[in-house]
Homo-oligomer: A and B are copies of this chain.
Amino acid sequence: MAVTIKDVAKKVGVTPATVSMVINNKSRISLATRNKVLRAIEELGYYPHEGARNLVLKRSNTIGVAAPSFISTSALEILAGIEAEVRQSGHNMVLISTHGMEQIEDSVVARVARERKVDGLIALNLQFTQSQQSSFREQKLVLVAIESEMSGWDSLGPDHREGAYAATKHLLSLGHRRLAFLNAPPSLSFAKQREEGFRKAMLEAGLEPARQRMLVVPDASKESGLEAAKILLAQDTRPTAVFAAAGDLCAAGVISAAQAAGLKVPEDLSVIGYGDHPVAALLEPALSTLREPLAQIGARAFGMIKAALAEGGGHRAVRETQLPVLVERQSCAFMGSKPGFNGQMKDSGR
């Protein structure tokens, strides 16, 4: 049997209540007994039993992170951000992956909300139903959504609009005028926002986005990028730069298609991606892209949980957004730049 609060109380000759108080720095206890207690704790190697404590305090000291899947580099980065904060504040963290299956999602709710295993929940790319949400409210469980919005709850995520705006501006500043825009299907929530950012930058530059250069790809795969690039490159006045807002993988396909067509990147065609996927730096040429502050988002999400918890679940419904940053590598160049004037030189120009 592990050593309990009683053991130390007995050893010092006080009651458990006294020991409890010194542990929790409660009502000023005489320095004398306080020290005696602390010494006994040390000698006995006593550690409070968190479960017991949680039981009386009516909390779990644990937060859950729910997502369809964690097997993606972006989910991972967010997770890392959350984890660091969680540990630092002495909480626990459990992962709940739903695999996109409703059944599991429901069981999440059942277990989480009813067995009171978590005090708060961070939802990543997940949308809870109204009934699930109200079940959370009943249990006074706080919810924070990343990359999705649920009215009445805090939410946060990268600013797709500004990210796309920055990418477009970058291309524009390099002298490009015929920009192609490869977007994800509108069913993905961020697609609309990225398009807004693109349009805004174009309009500010006095340019009208050309219809035939705005393509929607079915997914963010390399194949999709290849297909789209073929269409683009077959046009009479082909674009001098393409912004693969659908993602870096897509951009990889564009580069690949361009090279297959005998074009050099970035001399003949500039390409910029989105997301800073691990492959981005490995491509030839290395892909310029937008990096989202994922770890920071994760950390902030936990911060919001804590704040909400502190306020006793008072719904704040804060909505925050964090700015992506442009990562310049070798896939973009001044329009019409000669070979020899390569990406490396651009980098130093900033």
Whether A328 is near chain B, meaning CB under 8 Å from some CB there, is no
A69 — which chain B residues lie within 8 A by C-beta? 80
| A83 touching B95 in the complex, CB below 8 Å, given contacts A76-B71, A278-B278 | yes
CB of B97 within 8 A of CB of A94, answer: no
A222 — which chain B residues lie within 8 A by C-beta? 281-282
Residues in A65-117 with C-beta less than 8 Å from chain B: 69-73, 76-77, 79-80, 83, 87, 92-95, 97, 104, 110-111, 114-117
CB of B52 within 8 A of CB of A79, answer: no
CB of B55 within 8 A of CB of A117, answer: no
Q: Considering the chains assembled together, what is the distance between the CA atoms of A341 and B76 in angstroms?
A: 39
Give the contact stretch, choosing among A32-40, A42-50, A155-163, A186-194: A42-50
| A49 touching B116 in the complex, CB below 8 Å, given contacts A80-B71, A279-B279, A283-B282 | yes
CB of A45 within 8 A of CB of B83, answer: no
Report A134 CB to chain B, min CB distance, Å: 13
**Of B2, B52, B117, B282, the contact of A249 (CB 8 Å cutoff):** B282
| A73 touching B278 in the complex, CB below 8 Å, given contacts A47-B115, A94-B94, A97-B83 | yes
Whether A173 is near chain B, meaning CB under 8 Å from some CB there, is no
By beta carbon, the residue of chain B nearest A221 is: B282
Q: Considering the chains assembled together, what is the distance between the CA atoms of A249 and B283 in angstroms?
A: 11
CB of A256 within 8 A of CB of B284, answer: yes
Whether A51 is near chain B, meaning CB under 8 Å from some CB there, is yes
Whether A337 is near chain B, meaning CB under 8 Å from some CB there, is no
A115 — which chain B residues lie within 8 A by C-beta? 47-50
CB of B71 within 8 A of CB of A79, answer: yes
Q: Considering the chains assembled together, what is the distance between the CA atoms of A27 and B54 in angstroms?
A: 30
Whether A125 is near chain B, meaning CB under 8 Å from some CB there, is no
A296 — which chain B residues lie within 8 A by C-beta? none
CB of A110 within 8 A of CB of B47, answer: yes
Whether A269 is near chain B, meaning CB under 8 Å from some CB there, is no
CB of B47 within 8 A of CB of A51, answer: no
Whether A259 is near chain B, meaning CB under 8 Å from some CB there, is yes
By beta carbon, the residue of chain B nearest A77 is: B71
By beta carbon, the residue of chain B nearest A81 is: B71
Q: Considering the chains assembled together, what is the distance between the CA atoms of A69 and B83 in angstroms?
A: 10
CB of A139 within 8 A of CB of B2, answer: yes
Report A62 CB to chain B, min CB distance, Å: 8
CB of B76 within 8 A of CB of A114, answer: no
**Of B2, B60, B76, B249, the contact of A76 (CB 8 Å cutoff):** B76
A97 — which chain B residues lie within 8 A by C-beta? 80, 83, 87
**Of B45, B52, B281, B283, the contact of A55 (CB 8 Å cutoff):** B52
A252 — which chain B residues lie within 8 A by C-beta? 282
A249 — which chain B residues lie within 8 A by C-beta? 282
CB of B45 within 8 A of CB of A114, answer: yes
A282 — which chain B residues lie within 8 A by C-beta? 222, 249, 252, 279, 283
Question: Which 8 pairs between the two chains have the least Cβ-Cβ distance?
Answer: A47-B114, A279-B279, A71-B80, A50-B115, A279-B282, A92-B94, A71-B76, A51-B55
Sampled A-B contacts (23; CB under 8 Å):
A2-B114, A2-B116, A47-B110, A48-B115, A49-B116, A51-B51, A51-B54, A55-B55, A70-B79, A70-B80, A71-B80, A72-B76, A73-B73, A73-B278, A76-B76, A79-B95, A93-B94, A93-B95, A94-B95, A249-B282, A256-B284, A278-B278, A279-B282
